[in-house]
């Protein structure tokens, strides 16, 4: 006598009860039918919010806000006026961003005070390596340790500002490269933290090479979906960067990357599997 199977057409699972397998048995007990119940998509219960349900009746934004502040309403930032200890000028600041501690310096004097404290420490502890310079951009005098003997042309504040401006100019001239570096930078940093072998990887090349096809569920990926959609396209490491079985680490390279739905990617996690059954 052969093994008894589920009586639902097309289902070959083992019998569990009442002629059904475990899945169809529970479905029949809960809903009175073996057909998959149709559920209406839930939305956020906050009035005027069109986002999908995430948890406890809220979308992800309102859920996080409710969890942090106890309310779904956006907390109004109340700025307070303080007097700078360096220039005696008044400035507005939100003390909640500083953990409730009132600020002592305005943003400009805070940078100068930090540089002055650093220069004072260098002058007191390493006088043989300290050299005084004049910034060609703001005219201030500053001290700095120069191991290689090359003179400094800008103070730390001006050097940082010039670096930011140069980066912004490059982003304006190269918008496509800037977008690519922003999209690929997170994966590269994550791989570097886990000690994986790194290779310069472009997400668009991975999608194009495998035809926007999820290698886990063998279904197509819609490129137009929003990133919060569970079927949104992601890039997954076939051999995980840090496997849960303690085996060899996977590489961050084209050979080890495949397109996958966000939901399939999360279900796989850091296991060594290539198909979700």
Between the CA of residue 84 and those of 17, 88, 100, 163, what are the distances in Å? Answer: 77, 5, 17, 27
pTM for the predicted model, two decimal places: 0.39
Q: Give the C-alpha distances (Å, rounded to integers) separating 245 from 195, 239, 248.
A: 16, 11, 9
- pLDDT at residue 110, as a whole number: 76
The per-residue pLDDT for 153 is: 79
* Of 276, 275, 265, 197, the residue nearest 235 (C-alpha): 265
Range list of β-strands (E), the chain: 80-83, 90-93, 130-134, 141-145, 233-237, 257-261
Q: What is the pLDDT along the chain (277 residues), one digit of tens a residue?
A: 468 888 888 888 888 888 889 988 988 888 888 888 777 778 898 888 888 888 888 999 899 888 887 888 876 555 567 788 877 888 776 555 544 567 777 877 777 777 677 667 766 776 665 667 788 888 877 666 555 556 677 877 788 888 888 888 988 898 887 777 776 776 777 777 777 777 778 888 888 888 899 998 889 999 888 878 888 889 998 888 888 877 888 888 888 899 999 999 988 888 887 444 4
129 to 88, 143, 149, 151, 153: CA distances (angstroms)? 34, 10, 10, 13, 17
DSSP H or E segment with residue 110: helix 107-125
User: What does DSSP assign to residue 212?
Assistant: S
């Amino acid at each position: 006598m052969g093994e008894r199977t589920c009586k639902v057409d097309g289902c070959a699972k083992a019998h569990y009860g009442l002629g059904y397998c475990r899945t169809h048995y529970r479905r029949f007990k809960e809903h009175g039918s073996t057909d998959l119940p149709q559920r209406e998509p839930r939305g956020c219960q906050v009035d005027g919010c069109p986002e999908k349900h995430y948890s406890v009746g809220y979308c992800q934004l309102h859920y996080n806000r409710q969890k942090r502040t106890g309310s779904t309403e956006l907390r109004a930032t109340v700025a307070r006026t303080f007097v700078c200890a360096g220039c005696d000028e008044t400035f507005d600041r939100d003390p909640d961003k500083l953990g409730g501690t009132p600020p002592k310096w305005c943003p400009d004097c805070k940078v100068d005070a930090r540089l002055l404290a650093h220069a004072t420490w260098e002058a007191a502890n390493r006088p043989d390596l300290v050299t005084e310079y004049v910034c060609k951009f703001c005219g201030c005098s500053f001290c700095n340790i120069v191991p290689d003997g090359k003179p400094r042309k800008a103070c730390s504040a001006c050097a940082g500002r010039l670096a930011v401006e140069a980066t912004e100019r490059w982003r304006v001239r190269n918008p496509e490269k800037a977008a690519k570096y922003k999209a690929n930078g997170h994966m590269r940093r994550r791989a570097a933290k886990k000690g994986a072998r790194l290779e310069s990887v472009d997400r668009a090349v991975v999608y194009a090479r495998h035809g926007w096809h999820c290698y886990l569920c063998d279904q197509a990926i819609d490129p137009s979906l929003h990133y919060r959609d569970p079927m949104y396209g992601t890039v997954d490491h076939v051999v995980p960067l840090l496997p849960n079985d303690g085996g060899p680490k996977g590489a961050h390279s084209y050979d080890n990357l495949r397109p996958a739905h966000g939901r399939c990617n999360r279900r796989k996690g850091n296991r060594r599997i290539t198909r979700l059954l």
